[in-house]
Chain A
Amino acid sequence: MEHEGTLSSPSQYIEHHLSFNTQGAEASFWTIHIDTIVMSIMLGLIAMGLIWMVAKKATAGVPSKAQAFVELIFDFVDDQVKNIFHGNRHTFIAPAALTVFVWVLVMNAMDFLPVDIMAAIYSFLGIHKWRSVPTSDVNTTFALALAVWFLMIYFGIKVKGLGGWVHELYSAPFGTKFWVWPFNFLFNLIEYVSKPLSHSLRLFGNMYAGEVIFLLLGLWAATGVSGLFFGALLGAGWSIFHILIVVLQAFIFMMLTVVYLAMAHEGH
C-alpha cells in the first residue's frame, strides 16, 4: 500500500495524511475538497436522519430508549438556548443550535477513527487521499461561522430594522455623540470581523491539532518497540482526552452560535 512506503519519511507521511482529496484546479478558488464535502454531508444526513426517524415516531407516552436519548440531547440544547436567548427560540434558534451541536459533534468524532487504519481502508477502496474529519478543514468551520455571521446580520436587521441596525453600528457601545461615531464603527467592525474568525478558527485549530498529534504519535509508533509502546499508550491517552475536546468544541461552537444570534436580537 502506498503509505507504507512513506513511513520512512515523516514529512511525507504527515503531508499524505493532511492533504485533501481535491477536485478542480489546484490552488484556485473553484477547488473542491471532495472528502470534506462527502464526509460532512454523509455525517449530517446520518446524524440528523437518525434523529428525524426518532422524532417522527416521537410519543408523549413512555419513550423508547432511542427517543429518550434524543430527548436528552434535545433537552440539553434547549436548556442552553433557554438560558441565553429570551425570545421564541423554537422557531429557529433552538433547532439551529441542535443542528450545529449534533453535526459538529459527529464531524469532530471522526477524529476517533485511527488515521492509519482508515488510510489503509481508503486505499483499499482505491482512494489515496482522504481526510475523515471535516472540521479539521478550515472551509467547513468557516462555512459554519460565516453562515452564523450572516444569520446574525439578518436577525439584527430583522429585529431592529435596517435603520436601527446601522444606527447601532455607529452608536454602540460608546454613545450617540457624533464625535464617537468613528470609534463606535471601528469597534463594531472589529467585532464583526473577529466573531467569525474566532468562531471558526477555534474549532478548526482544535481539531487540526488533534489530528496532527495523532499523526505524530503514529510516527513515533513506527520507530521501534519503545516507540510503539509509548506511541500506543499516549495515543490511547490522547484519544480519551480527545473525547472531551470533541464534545467540548462542539458545545462551544453551539454556544457561540446561540450567543451571537441572541446578541443580534438584543439592542445594546
Chain B
Amino acid sequence: MNINFTLIAQAIAFAILIWFTVKFVWPPLLGAIEKRQKEIADGLAAAQEGKASLEIAEKKSAQSLGEAKQKAAEIISQAEKRASEILEDAKNQAKEEGDRIILGAKAEIDQEVNRAKETLRSQVSSLAIAGAEKILLKEIDKKAHSDMLNKLAKEL
C-alpha cells in the first residue's frame, strides 16, 4: 500500500462526482419526490373533504326525504279529510234534496187530494142537487137548497 498521485486523482474525481450529483442528480429527484408527496397529501385532503361533503349531502338528502315523507303524509291525510268532508257534504245534500223532493211530493199529493176532494165535493153537491131535483121533480128554491148543500159538502 503505497500512497501516490493516484490519491489526488481520485480526490479530484470524487469532487467532480459530488459536484455533478449536487448540481444535476439530486435536485430533479428531490423535486419529483416532493411534488409527488404534495400531490398525494393534496389528494388525501381532497378525499377527506369529499368524504365529509358526501356525509353532509347524505344527511341533507335523508332530511329532505323525511320532510317530503312528512309532507306527503300530511297531504294524504288532508286529502282523506277533504274527501270525507266532500262525501259528508254530498250525503247531506242528497239527504236534503231527497227531503225536499219528498216534501214537494207530499205537498203535491196533498194539493192533489184537496183538488180531488174539491172536485168531488162540487160534483157531490151538484149530483145531490140533480138527484134531489129528479127525486122531488118539482120546483125547488135552488138558492136556499144549494147553500144548504154547500154546507153539507164542506162537512164531507
Binding site for B on A (CB under 8 A): 24, 27-33, 36-37, 40-41, 44, 48, 51-52, 54-56, 58-61, 63, 67, 70-71, 74-75, 90-92, 94-96, 98-100, 103, 134, 137-140, 142-144, 146-147, 204
* CB-defined contacts of B33 to chain A, threshold 8 Å: 58, 60, 71, 74-75
Residue of A91, A98, A143 near B21 (CB, 8 A) is: A98
Chain A's nearest CB lies how many Å from the CB of B106? Answer: 99
B36 within 8 A of A: yes
Cβ contact of A37, chosen from B13, B18, B22, B36, cutoff 8 A: B13
**What's the tally of chain B residues with a CB closer than 8 Å to chain A?**
32
Interface of B is mostly: helix
Q: In whole angstroms, what is the CA distance A138 to B35 when docked?
A: 41
Contact: A32 with B36, CB < 8 Å? no
For A90, what are the chain B residues with a Cβ–Cβ distance below 8 Å? 26-27, 30
A-B contact pairs, 23 of them (CB 8 A): A27-B2, A29-B5, A30-B4, A32-B4, A32-B6, A40-B10, A48-B20, A48-B21, A55-B25, A60-B35, A71-B32, A74-B30, A90-B26, A95-B18, A95-B25, A95-B26, A98-B26, A137-B6, A139-B4, A143-B7, A143-B10, A143-B11, A144-B10
CB-CB under 8 A from B4, the residues of chain A are 28-33, 139
Min C-beta distance of B6 to chain A, whole Å: 4
CB of B25 within 8 A of CB of A52, answer yes
> Which B residues contact A (CB, under 8 angstroms)?
1-11, 13-15, 17-18, 20-22, 24-33, 35-36, 39
Q: What is the CB-to-nearest-CB distance from B103 to chain A, in angstroms, rounded to a whole number?
A: 95
* Closest CB in chain B relative to A216 CB, distance in Å: 19
Contact A142 B3 (CB under 8 A): yes
In the complex, what distance in Å separates the CA atom of A17 from the CA atom of B30? 42
Q: Interface of chain A, helix or strand or loop or mixed? A: helix
Instruction: Tell me the smallest distance from the CB of B111 to a CB of chain A, in Å.
Output: 105
Q: Cβ of B31: which chain A residues have Cβ within 8 Å of it?
A: 58, 60
Q: How far is the CA of A24 from the CA of B19 in the complex (A)?
A: 29
Asked if B13 and A44 make an inter-chain contact with CB atoms under 8 angstroms apart, the answer reads yes
Tell me if A96 and B18 are in contact (CB < 8 A). yes
Inter-chain contact A70/B29, CB cutoff 8 Å? yes
Closest CB in chain B relative to A149 CB, distance in Å: 10
Question: Chain A's nearest CB lies how many Å from the CB of B49?
Answer: 21
Known contacts A36-B10, A98-B25; is-contact A138 B17 (Cβ 8 Å): no
Q: A58-B29, A58-B32 are in contact. Are A92 and B9 (CB under 8 A)?
A: no
